[in-house]
């Protein structure tokens, strides 16, 4: 028996495309961070801005089980994951991971929280009335 894929609204498709783009932009930003010309704070916190926003938009665009979450619930989930990933950097790294240069920064933590807040407001505006646990099916 063939099961049709669930209908995803145009708004949710747009959020998915933007989310994937934001997450892919982390790669060139990380490479730019290690070049000698880029040492600014904006380049340093950019992954902490792009990652949570991209993850939130992807979660909200999904036709799966997580699409039943409201924007606030999804933002809380993404915020917990993102802050957790930032705080994990405080743990000592075993073995060969001890040589990896990756340090905790309070600006990254603040950027993560700001990104979750701003992206949840944007997602609420894009989804309008359909962003509150509805799947976008008509």
Mean pLDDT, the chain, integer = 81
Closest CA relative to residue 136, chosen from 67, 85, 78: 67
Nearest Cα neighbor of 84 from 48, 120, 33 is 48
* pLDDT above 80 (res 135): no
**pLDDT > 90 in the chain, percent:** 36
Q: Is the pLDDT of residue 22 over 70?
A: yes
Task: Report the C-alpha gap between 41 and 80 in whole angstroms.
Answer: 24
- Number of helical H runs and strand E runs in the chain: 4, 0
Nearest to 47 by CA among 69, 77, 26, 19: 26
pLDDT tens digits, one per residue of 42-101 = 677 888 899 999 999 999 988 888 778 899 999 999 999 999 988 888 887 787 777 776
Domain ranges of the chain: 10-130
């Amino acid at each position: 028996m063939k099961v049709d894929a669930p209908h995803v609204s145009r708004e949710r498709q747009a959020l998915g495309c933007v989310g994937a783009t934001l997450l892919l932009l982390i790669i060139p930003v990380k490479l730019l961070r290690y070049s000698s010309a880029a040492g600014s704070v904006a380049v340093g916190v950019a992954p902490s801005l792009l990652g949570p926003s991209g993850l939130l938009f992807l979660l909200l665009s999904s036709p799966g089980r997580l699409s039943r979450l409201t924007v606030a619930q999804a933002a809380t989930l993404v915020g917990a994951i993102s802050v957790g990933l930032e705080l994990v950097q405080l743990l000592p790294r075993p073995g060969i991971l001890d040589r990896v240069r990756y340090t905790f920064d309070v600006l990254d933590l603040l950027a993560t929280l700001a990104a979750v807040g701003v992206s949840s407001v944007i997602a609420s505006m894009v989804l309008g009335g359909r962003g509150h646990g509805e799947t976008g099916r008509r």
